[in-house]
Structure 1
Amino acid sequence: METIEKSIEVNCPVRSVYDQWTQFESFPLFMEGIKAVRQLDDRHLEWHAEIAGRGKAWEAEIIEQEPDQRIAWRSTSGTTNNGVVSFEAVDPEHTRVTLTMNYEPEGTAEKIGDALGVVSLRVAGDLKRFKQCIEKRTTPPQGWRGEVADGQVNPPVV
């Protein structure tokens, strides 16, 4: 299994950055190769991507989610991957986003691409595009403010 860790500082408050990240179905706007993400419920996502010229699909579950702090996931079918994205307030108007992802390259093309650093470059580009996306917004995004802990969903407190 391979691991990538990348960070970026975003010029927005942590709440806005976290809320934007929880809009999973918007990921194709900034993630290269991601064709669609469908949120099935509060914990489950269906992904469709094109990797090394091939269509791929997988399902993932959110195993931990704490507002303004972190979201951890693991794949439950298809392409093997898991990871965590964390959000750290640098100051009231700046947030550090750190993405750590573990994945298993499949097939010769993916293994060659991985050896050449293609996945690492793609993740760095995705974070840059996310930064541009959130910094261009004129209104704060509305995100899901519930929690996931020990496999249980705790709905948002209103």
Structure 2
Amino acid sequence: MDVPVRMAFNQWTQFECFPQFMRGVRRVERSRSSMTHWVTRFGGVTREFDAEITEQSPDDLVVWRTVGTPRLTGSVRFGSLGDARCRVDLRIDFTPRGAAERAGDALGVIRRQVHDDLRRFKEYIEAQGRETGQWRGTISGGHVSPDSDRPPPRVPNWPSG
């Protein structure tokens, strides 16, 4: 990505913005520093679930898992490639439920969707030119560091142009 690693990480922590670049994600709400609630729609099926951030290290790593079903885990790792470039590696692991999800997984539809979502994230953050907010808290073993318990106020959206 043609943005600094800090900017990419900061934007990634703005889960509420995910519907702007992730197809199938309808809404994400952060209920606590380490908990999010998701509404997704894939293949005509709407699902709601909670996800817990189990690890977060600013400018380096975010790891999450769903609470209950569907069972899903994921991680995103950030790496600096200089002052104005970075690498973002996204990994999602899940067990497909139902015939449609199993068929989609077997045909590589899920892998392509993740790849396309990451490409759209790149386009989104590069077009913005800055992050729309940040939460740089540290989470280890699902526990938020005491000094990073509350997300700070969001940075206002800046007009493009």
Q: Above 0.5 in TM-score? A: yes
Distance in 1 (CA, whole Å) between partners of 2:38 and 2:95 is: 16
Residue in 2 that maps onto 1:114 = 105
Residues of 1 paired with 2:142 and 2:45: CA distance?
A: 32
Q: Measure how far apart 1:150 and its partner are.
A: 2.4
Corresponding residue for residue 6 of structure 1:
none
* Cα distance in 1, alignment partners of residues 23 and 37 from structure 2: 16
Matched, 1:41 2:25: no
Task: Report the equivalent of 1:77.
Answer: 68
Q: Are the counterparts in 2 of residues 57 and 79 from structure 1 also a CA contact under 8 Å?
A: no
Cα-to-partner distance string for 1:25-80 (whole Å, 9 max, x where unaligned): 10000111111111111000111111221111111100000000000001112211
Partner of 1:141: 132
Whether 1:150 aligns to 2:141 is yes
Identity among equivalent pairs (%): 37
Instruction: Report the counterpart of residue 91 of structure 1 in structure 2.
Output: 82
> CA–CA distance in 1 between the matches of 2:132 and 2:29?
18
What is the alpha-carbon distance in structure 2 between the residues aligned to residue 134 and residue 42 of structure 1?
Answer: 22
Greater displacement, 75-84 / 25-34: 75-84
Aligned mate of 1:123, from 100, 114, 119: 114
The code of the aligned residue for 1:107 comes to G
What is the letter of the counterpart of residue 145 of structure 1? Answer: R
- Residue 25 of structure 1 contacts residue 39 of structure 1 at CA under 8 Å; is this kept in 2? yes
CA distance in 1, matches of 2:95, 2:28: 20
**Cα contact 1:22–1:144 (8 A) shared by 2:** yes
One-letter code aligned to 1:43: S
Bigger strand share: 1
What is the SS of the residue equivalent to 1:91?
coil
Runs of 4+ more than 4 Å apart: none
Task: Tell which has more relative contact order, 1 or 2 (C-alpha 8 A, sep 6+).
Answer: 1
Gaps of at least 5 residues in structure 2 are: 153-161
Deviation at 1:141, TM superposition (A): 3.5
Unaligned runs of 5+ in 1: 1-9
CA RMSD after TM alignment: 1.5
**Distance in 2 (alpha carbons) for counterparts of 1:139 and 1:86:** 19
Output the TM-score relative to the length of structure 2: 0.88
